[in-house]
Amino acid sequence: MVSAQADADAASSAAPLRRDPKLGKYFEYDLSKLHNSRGGFLTEEDLEGDRIRSVVEVARQKEREKQMMREGEEPPIFPDSSPRCDECKSLEIDQSFVKVFDVRVCKNCKEKYPEKYSLLTKTECKEDYLLTDPELRDTDLLPHLLKANPHAASYSNMMLFLRMQVEEVAWKKWGGEKGLDEEWARREEFKKRKREAKFEAGLRDLRKRTRNNQYQRRTEAQHVHEFEDAEEVTNRHGDTRTIQRCTCGAEQEVEVL
């Protein structure tokens, strides 16, 4: 009995004590990475060459890295080897364009050169550059950026394409900008002829239905005389005639044999 009690006391003493939550936050450190600077213990992250970074510098660096991660950007390692803008050689390139379109351009140059770096919707690619749905869905041919639809949250995401890449594919497909313009004009002429043919067919049908309605109305309005039995009528001159009268008042003279 004494042995069982001793084992229970040993087990309870080996278990870690529950920390009092009133003591506030605490931090865990790997003791193998701590260095004695004779002014407190520092980790390897606090060292920058022979200089020891302050707590404020370390905190600011960590905050910058977190912000870059939230914005989808990667912190630069060395300025000399970092990617630069293809237009102005700036280091502040748009990382979303690098990841999606493999194009290095800064935000200022995107606004400065919209003829190259503006984004086109799927509808604009189909109507202005005559590209098809299978071509636009091929990410190897045309990568696209997904963006929430501004009209309603329940709508599908918008597919945005880089103008310079869309034009490159369209020029190859139609034989340059001139070939695209000729194909666009040919399709517009075809649409025009189709609209005119549809209008003429509708006009002919309307005329046909109008004629039928007028004929039907005239047929229904036409009166068929129904004459009564013949009777003799003597005028003031003493002449006698044999006539037949209709209910509408019409008369006709007949001969009695």
pLDDT, tens digit only, all 257 positions of the chain: 445 555 555 555 555 666 666 666 555 555 565 555 555 544 555 555 555 566 667 677 777 766 666 555 554 545 556 788 999 988 888 999 999 999 999 999 999 999 999 999 999 999 999 999 999 999 999 999 998 888 777 788 899 999 999 999 999 999 999 999 999 999 999 999 999 988 988 888 887 777 666 666 666 566 677 777 777 777 766 677 777 778 766 777 776 66
Q: How many helices (H) and strands (E) does the chain have?
A: 9, 10
Q: Does residue 110 lie in a domain region? A: yes
Cα 48 → chain centroid = 49
What pLDDT shows up at residue 205? 83
- Whole domain around residue 89: which residue ranges? 79-117
Q: Does residue 151 lie in a domain region? A: no
Same domain flag for 63 and 85: no
What pLDDT shows up at residue 103? 93
Q: Does residue 136 lie in a domain region? A: no
Same domain flag for 69 and 85: no
Chosen domain end from 55, 75, 95: 75
Same domain flag for 62 and 94: no
Tell me how far apart the alpha carbons of residues 35 and 45 are, in angstroms, rounded to a whole number. Answer: 11
The dihedrals phi and psi of 58, each to the nearest 5 degrees, come to -65, -40
Same domain flag for 102 and 83: yes
Q: How many CB atoms lie within 10 A of CB 189?
A: 10
Angle at 237 between CA 233 and CA 240, to 5 degrees: 30
Q: Does residue 186 lie in a domain region? A: no
Tell me how far apart the alpha carbons of residues 80 and 72 are, in angstroms, rounded to a whole number. Answer: 21
What pLDDT shows up at residue 250? 73
Same domain flag for 84 and 71: no
What pLDDT shows up at residue 41? 46
Q: Does residue 111 lie in a domain region? A: yes
Q: How many CB atoms lie within 10 A of CB 22?
A: 5
Same domain flag for 100 and 66: no
Chosen domain end from 117, 147, 171: 117
Chosen domain end from 117, 142, 175: 117
Same domain flag for 86 and 69: no
Place of tokens 């000399």: 80
Q: Does residue 92 lie in a domain region? A: yes
Nearest CA among 186, 18, 165, 32 for reference residue 102:
165
**Domains held by the chain: number:** 2
Q: Does residue 245 lie in a domain region? A: no
What pLDDT shows up at residue 45? 52
Please report the sign of the dihedral spanned by the C-alpha atoms of residue 73, residue 77, residue 81, residue 87. Answer: positive
Same domain flag for 91 and 61: no
